[in-house]
């Protein structure tokens, strides 16, 4: 039976990003339900949902951020509690799905962890998944349950639409992200350039060439799905500066992890004037980056939750299917 109100919509949060869950609930005008966490002396985790979920439509918000294994197991426990507690439907809301990089066998005797994590989440009790900006679109197919793959591009587009983008080019550091970057470039009406990246290790990359470099301007906006160690972004920034004369670089991503030495690596690039990310990842240490700007994706996730609960289409929010302009998506979000 399709719901007509939000009365039976219950949202709980794991420990990875409680502020984002609170923002989602504030947008929807409903309370964040309590969750109790305890870790025993033997390191065993104990979780209790603080409200009965019987016959409720339950959404569990948890980003798979460091410590990834702890947060994944928290999510699995919460899914199991909600499923066995009589919830009518249980949806895992995973703003950042960390194992999206492990989407293939790139060496002998290795695990396709993105598939394994999908199976674990499903087995734990998820009926549906809502996520944001997967590193690899094929991860969508690893889930045997419905998955709504949302995008932050409309949010990022609105931010840059307020700026003077003359003499600006949008740059994707590799071919893999070029299709999504081209959507943003079209919306902003600026040219697109694409790097040819070769990964040498977890933190080392080489940029062999920049395709479309004839259209580069004084300013470049480099965009990728995430900034982990910052190696790719920094290498691309230096390539654009040294080989193509770019003087002003903005780094943009959906998921700002800023792991390891990423913050210092970015701060050492004098012509990086701004870093823009979203709040899919709770990373307070990132505010050590000068001119960091964090856009919230709470309205996008909230609209995904609302549409699912009310049995409405979420087509305009999909990452792989964009029919609306950023303004139309924004207006849909504001209407509530």
Strand-pair partners of 172: 194
Q: Which residues contact 126 (CB under 8 A, 6 or more apart)?
A: 79, 83, 90, 91, 92, 145
- Residue of 179, 197, 243, 267 with catalytic role: 197
Residue 235 annotated in active site: no
3-class DSSP assignment, residue 224: strand
What's the CA gap between 326 and 92, in Å, rounded?
A: 26
Q: Are 20 and 280 in contact (CB under 8 A)?
A: yes
Nearest one of 336, 300, 334 to 318, comparing CA atoms? 300
Nearest one of 48, 15, 225 to 134, comparing CA atoms? 225
CA distances from 14 to 73, 86, 93, 115, 152 (A): 10, 19, 10, 22, 22
Nearest one of 67, 64, 60, 66 to 117, comparing CA atoms? 64
Dig out the tokens for 54 from the structure.
């019987």
Q: Are 307 and 314 in contact (CB under 8 A)?
A: yes
CA 43 to chain CA centroid, Å, is 29
Angle of CA points 179, 291, 164, to nearest 5°: 60
What's the CA gap between 251 and 229, in Å, rounded?
A: 13
What's the CA gap between 285 and 262, in Å, rounded?
A: 11
Which residues are identified as catalytic? 197
């Amino acid at each position: 039976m399709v719901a007509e109100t939000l009365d039976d919509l219950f949202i709980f949060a794991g420990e990875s990003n409680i502020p984002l869950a609170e923002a989602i609930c504030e947008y929807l005008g409903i309370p964040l339900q309590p969750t109790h966490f305890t870790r025993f002396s033997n390191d065993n985790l104990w979780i209790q949902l603080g409200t009965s979920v019987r016959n409720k439509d339950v959404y569990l918000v948890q980003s798979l951020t460091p410590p990834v294994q702890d947060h994944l197991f928290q999510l699995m426990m919460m899914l199991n509690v909600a499923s066995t507690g009589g919830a009518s439907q249980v949806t895992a809301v995973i703003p950042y799905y960390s194992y999206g990089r492990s989407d293939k066998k790139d060496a002998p005797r290795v695990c396709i962890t993105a598939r394994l994590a999908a199976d674990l989440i499903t087995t734990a009790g998820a009926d549906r998944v809502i996520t944001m900006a997967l590193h690899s679109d094929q991860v969508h197919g690893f889930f045997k349950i419905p998955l709504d793959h949302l995008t932050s591009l409309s949010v990022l587009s609105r931010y840059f639409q307020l700026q003077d983008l003359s003499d600006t080019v949008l740059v994707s550091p590799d071919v893999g992200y070029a299709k999504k970057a081209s959507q943003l470039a079209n919306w902003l009406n600026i040219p697109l350039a694409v790097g040819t990246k070769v990964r040498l290790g977890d933190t080392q990359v080489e940029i062999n060439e920049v395709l479309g470099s004839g259209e580069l301007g004084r300013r470049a906006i480099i965009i990728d799905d995430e900034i982990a160690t910052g190696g790719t972004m920094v290498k691309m920034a230096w390539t654009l500066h040294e080989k193509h004369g770019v003087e002003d670089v903005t780094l943009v991503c959906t998921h700002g992890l800023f792991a390891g030495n990423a913050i210092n690596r970015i701060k050492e690039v004098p012509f990086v004037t701004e870093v823009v990310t979203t709040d899919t990842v709770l990373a307070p240490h990132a505010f050590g980056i000068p001119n960091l700007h964090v856009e919230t994706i709470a309205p996008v996730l909230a609209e995904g939750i609302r549409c699912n609960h009310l049995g409405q289409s979420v087509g305009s929010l999909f990452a792989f299917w964009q029919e609306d302009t950023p303004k139309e998506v924004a207006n849909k979000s504001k209407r509530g």
